[in-house]
Structure 1
Amino acid sequence: MMSEFQPLIEHVKKRVDMTDDELAELLSYFSIKKIKKKQYIIQPDFVAKHRNYVIEGAFRAYVIDEKGEEHTIQFAIEDWWISDYNSFIYQQPATMFVVALDDSVVLQITHEQEQKLKAAAHQFETFFRIMAERSAAFQQRRIISNLTQSAEERYTDFLEKYPLVAQRVPQYALASYLGMTTEFLSKIRNNKVRRKS
């Protein structure tokens, strides 16, 4: 049992000092869930009940606009978190789809359990606060890059920062995350290859 929790233990220890007892208490609030490839863990109009920590696998969160086009909002691979955060935090209906790109294993915590944990001890609140701060900073960097960088710069930047994600997710999903068509992403990739050769 403990071995399945090991990645989360390491993840927490990197961010906050906790005793073994505190770690055990934190973990007791999480449950393990196996998710099949193409299975949805969040869908629009239903409240996102969980925050998900990825032990194994990959996920994509996306929205669909009125023209039926998909826009990828977030990816998550091992050691990342995913949810529809607006829905999870405010317990309102979700606006995003979150789907497994591979057979996956996640550790889930409900909104209610997270609130209990935060109220139980300062360390737990600190851990969730650090996660929220990192997430806010990441979203800001993403917005700025979308507004100030060319498509090619966004792609290059993503490859440098998240090489593992770029290898794991389908090209159409990466293109929609970077705000371009799959064809345009192929063109950028081919140009990069040509320049190297």
Structure 2
Amino acid sequence: MTPQAVIFDIGNVLIEWQPERYFDAAIGPARSRAMFAQVDIHAMMDRIDAGADFAAEVARTAAAQPEYAAEILHFRDHWCEIAQPAIAHSARLMAALRARRIPVFALSNFGAQNFPLSAAQFPFLRQFDRAYISGEMGLIKPDPAIYAAVEADCGLSPGALLFTDDREDNIMAAAARGWQVHHFTGAAGLAERLVAANLLTREEAV
């Protein structure tokens, strides 16, 4: 079946999410490695993505880890420096799909308060036909309930959806519901998949 809508994850698909890289530059590789070894930053982000208040959760985590409190607060105070840059080729693919009038959705584990910060920084994040943001939904990938909620809202059958995500567990959960999927490892691979699905020409997918 030719997909009727393309669904993009955001982190590491449309914008880079490599917080370790930011902290290596900001505080030095040695202290950065020590912080990530001691503080479960990714668990903090999972709580935010699942609906916890962004600023309050960062502050709570900082208070619980006083040795790295100043560094942890960078997530609140320097979010737009951490969650960047845009993945330019992916953004072009999204624009090319929209130019073809192919519906483009987002399905992303992202906090309700920090997503608007990134959308202000990268205006193409405001251009989805539908944006399914986990922190707003109170659901998080790869919980099957979040995929069911997308299906119910968009009204398309699972087989009509083509979903790309950088995490294999998220892809597998979507595939289990019958979605078409693409494991994102780079924009060039996604471009090839969109061409193979007859959604874009090779010229449009550059």
Q: TM-score, normalised by structure 2?
A: 0.24
Give 1 or 2: higher strand fraction: 1
Higher normalized contact order (CA 8 Å, seq sep 6+, divided by chain length): 2
